[in-house]
């Protein structure tokens, strides 16, 4: 330890000595500021010049960006450098402007030389209004405010879903209703004339596997149904509900009346086939396969002879047949319409049920019906700076300036105050920001009195049962303040009714200034709560006056 001390002592002494020599060799920088004028009109520019005289080896950093708020930086000219003896003279000029009339404090600027900060003097700038010629120029009424709706991605998504739904519905209508689908075998047979339909069905029966599988009951059931259905459609006798004897009796009566020219032998064969079919169906009788095939041929011959024996259909009968076929087509279309509607309804219910199961009932309901706060949350937000010292935050809509008249006792203490607000009665949402500069730049506003005043204002506007909590809050840039929040019963204007709501009061007090944000919204509205959370998360303040 002793060795280390003996080594360190001369080195430390040498360093202090060098620092003294450097201090003697270097001269302190000289900083001067000037403006070409301290009185401008709205929109005019003033030139603010910073002159820095420093050593040639010094590193000088001038302020950049919007550091002259509440004045706006129009342009920062290039640094003009000239040599003066063994030192440099650096000139930096800024073009500044303001678009509101009044007296503004041009804040001091930080000039960094070799890592050390030097501050310029602050000064007041007067911004006058532009004189208006009210004699020679005509005067016009102020145009009313127009609401300009910004681009909302929520509406674009809604339109996209609607278009997708229309495409799906159009595709379903086309494939189920408009597209000509090939007819099924049953539909094609139903549209055929009775004779052709019976012949097709008899050929299909011939190619069936009933006889191979010893299914005689099914074979004879289908055989008799084919011929009975043919007689009903072609001969117009009630064959399907008649017994064998009744059907033969009806056919004999038609033959005797001269309406059906069939031979007695043909009727006898047909009667025998019907009796055989009754035995097979009800007495479980079995026939040789060859005889069953022969019975089908006899039925086919009966159908041919019956068709040949009938007179040519009249025009009225042809029209009836066409009307029948048209009724079949109409029934087919109606069936397809009902199937399409049922499928669309089931698909809609399934989609709605899936959406409710995944997102929950309320989000789906609010998406279909829509709510004011949901539209604000999903719309295009505005990022802006309000008042001086500035309050920076994001809001669903731009906040509008509010003109207020301060009491005389308040005017004595307040140099300037700027209030901006947004009220949406449909959404039950209110946003207010206020930035105040005091005449006494060393005075710090009393937070407790400010909180009491805001709560009294809420009570004066109709709020009841106010519950208050208080927590510290910190902005994005690290500015510390107080958050006062809670719930209350708010009065609904012009209704005589009230609703449960919440509020937040954010206060930032520093020497010579006070900034506050007040938000009220309806309780149990999740979209309003998300709006407030997003506003508070985006909040930032600049507390330097």
Short-list 247, 251, 246, CA closest to 310: 251
526 Cβ partners below 8 Å, 6+ apart?
A: 362
Q: Measured in whole angstroms, how far is the alpha carbon of residue 399 from the centre of its chain?
A: 23
Are 488 and 463 spatial neighbours (Cβ–Cβ below 8 Å)? yes
**β-bridge partners, 421:** 400, 432
CB atoms within 10 A of CB 236: 12
Rounded to the nearest 5 percent, the helix, strand and coil shares of the chain are 45, 25, 30
Q: What does the pLDDT read at residue 133?
A: 60
Tokens representing residue 301 in the block? 């011959």
Are 70 and 158 spatial neighbours (Cβ–Cβ below 8 Å)? no
Q: Measured in whole angstroms, how far is the alpha carbon of residue 540 from the centre of its chain?
A: 28
What gap in Å lies between CA 100 and CA 129, rounded to an integer?
8
Q: Measured in whole angstroms, how far is the alpha carbon of residue 469 from the centre of its chain?
A: 34
Q: What does the pLDDT read at residue 395?
A: 92
What gap in Å lies between CA 237 and CA 307, rounded to an integer?
14
pLDDT (tens digit, 0 to 9) for every residue of the chain, 545 residues total? 333 333 233 333 333 333 333 333 457 888 889 899 889 989 899 999 999 998 888 888 898 888 888 888 998 998 888 887 778 889 999 999 998 888 888 888 889 988 888 888 888 888 988 766 656 666 667 777 777 665 555 556 667 777 787 788 777 766 666 666 666 666 666 677 888 888 888 888 888 888 888 888 898 899 889 888 888 888 888 888 888 888 888 888 888 887 777 788 888 888 888 888 888 888 888 878 888 888 888 888 888 888 887 766 666 766 666 776 677 777 777 877 777 777 777 777 777 777 777 767 667 666 667 688 888 888 889 888 888 888 899 999 899 988 877 777 777 788 888 899 998 888 889 999 998 888 888 888 888 888 888 888 888 887 888 888 889 988 878 888 899 998 888 887 767 778 889 999 999 988 888 889 999 998 888 888 999 999 998 898 886 65
Q: What does the pLDDT read at residue 158?
A: 64
Q: What does the pLDDT read at residue 7?
A: 28
CA distances (Å), 233 to each of 229, 306, 438, 494, in order?
A: 6, 12, 104, 77
CA distances (Å), 527 to each of 381, 424, 504, in order?
A: 14, 14, 16
CA distances (Å), 465 to each of 17, 428, 459, 487, 489, in order?
A: 72, 18, 9, 8, 6
What gap in Å lies between CA 438 and CA 149, rounded to an integer?
37
Write the DSSP string, 369-409: H--HHHHHHHS--EEEEETTTTEEEEESSPPEEE-----HH
What gap in Å lies between CA 253 and CA 264, rounded to an integer?
12
What gap in Å lies between CA 254 and CA 248, rounded to an integer?
10
Tokens representing residue 391 in the block? 């309050």
What gap in Å lies between CA 69 and CA 515, rounded to an integer?
16
Cα Rg of the chain (Å, integer):
49
510 Cβ partners below 8 Å, 6+ apart?
A: 444, 543, 544, 545
| Virtual torsion, Cα 524, 527, 532, 535, nearest 10 deg | 180
Short-list 510, 458, 504, 502, CA closest to 481: 510
303 Cβ partners below 8 Å, 6+ apart?
A: 195, 198, 199, 202, 227, 230
Q: What does the pLDDT read at residue 16?
A: 31
What is the DSSP secondary structure assignment for residue 444, as one 8-state letter?
Answer: -
What gap in Å lies between CA 294 and CA 301, rounded to an integer?
11
Largest Cα separation within the chain, whole Å, is: 151
CA-angle at 365, arms to 529 and 342, nearest 5°: 165
Q: What does the pLDDT read at residue 505?
A: 92
Tokens representing residue 183 in the block? 């007819």
Strands annotated E in 452-512:
464-474, 480-491, 498-510
Q: What does the pLDDT read at residue 96?
A: 92
**β-bridge partners, 53:** 30, 89
Are 483 and 532 spatial neighbours (Cβ–Cβ below 8 Å)? no
């Amino acid at each position: 330890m002793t060795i280390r001390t003996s080594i360190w002592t001369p080195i430390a002494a040498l360093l202090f000595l060098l620092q003294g020599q450097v201090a003697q060799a270097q001269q302190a920088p000289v900083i001067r500021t000037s403006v070409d004028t301290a009185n401008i009109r709205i929109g005019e520019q003033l030139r603010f010049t910073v002159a820095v005289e420093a050593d040639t080896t010094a590193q000088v950093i001038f302020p950049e960006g919007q550091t002259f708020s509440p004045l706006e930086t129009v342009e920062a000219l290039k640094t003009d450098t000239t040599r003066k003896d063994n030192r440099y003279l650096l000139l930096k000029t800024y073009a500044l402007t303001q678009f509101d009339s009044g007296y503004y404090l041009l804040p001091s600027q930080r000039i960094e030389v070799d890592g050390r900060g030097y501050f310029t003097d602050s000064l007041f700038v007067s911004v006058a209004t532009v004189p208006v010629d009210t004699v020679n120029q005509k005067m016009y009424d102020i145009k009313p405010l127009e609401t300009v709706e910004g681009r909302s991605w929520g509406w674009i998504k809604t339109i996209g879903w609607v278009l997708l739904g229309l495409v799906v519905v159009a595709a379903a209508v086309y494939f189920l209703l408009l597209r000509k689908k090939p007819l099924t075998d049953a539909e094609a047979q139903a549209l055929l004339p009775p004779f052709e339909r019976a012949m097709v069905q008899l050929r299909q029966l011939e190619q069936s596997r009933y006889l191979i599988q010893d299914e005689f009951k099914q074979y004879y059931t289908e055989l008799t149904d084919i011929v009975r259905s043919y007689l009903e459609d072609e001969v117009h006798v009630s064959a399907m509900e008649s017994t064998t004897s009744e059907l033969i009796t009806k056919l004999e009566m038609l033959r005797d009346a001269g309406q059906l020219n069939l031979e007695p032998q043909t009727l006898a064969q047909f009667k025998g086939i019907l009796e055989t079919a009754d035995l097979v169906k009800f007495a479980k009788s079995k026939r040789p396969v060859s005889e069953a095939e022969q019975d089908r041929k006899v039925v086919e011959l009966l159908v041919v002879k019956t068709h040949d024996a009938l007179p040519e259909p009249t025009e009225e009968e042809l029209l009836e047949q066409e009307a029948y076929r048209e009724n079949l087509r109409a029934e087919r279309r109606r069936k397809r319409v009902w199937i399409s509607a049922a499928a669309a309804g089931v698909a809609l219910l399934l989609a709605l049920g899936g959406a409710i199961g995944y997102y929950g009932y309320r989000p789906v309901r609010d998406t279909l019906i829509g709510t004011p706060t949901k539209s604000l949350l999903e719309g295009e937000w505005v990022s802006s700076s309000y008042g001086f010292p500035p309050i920076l935050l994001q809001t669903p809509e731009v906040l509008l300036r509010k003109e207020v008249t301060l009491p005389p006792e308040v005017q004595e203490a307040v140099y300037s105050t700027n209030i901006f607000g947004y009220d949406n009665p449909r959404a039950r949402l209110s946003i207010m920001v206020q930035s105040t500069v005091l005449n006494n730049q060393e005075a710090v506003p009393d937070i407790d009195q400010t909180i009491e005043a805001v709560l009294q204002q809420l009570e004066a506007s109709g709020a009841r049962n106010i519950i208050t909590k208080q927590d510290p809050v910190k902005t994005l840039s690290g500015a510390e303040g107080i958050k006062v929040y809670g719930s209350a019963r708010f009065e609904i204007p012009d209704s005589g009714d009230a609703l449960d709501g919440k509020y937040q009061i954010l206060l930032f007090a520093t020497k010579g200034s006070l900034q506050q944000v007040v938000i009220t919204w309806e309780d149990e509205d999740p979209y309003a709560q998300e709006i407030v959370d997003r506003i508070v998360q985006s909040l930032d303040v600049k507390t330097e006056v």
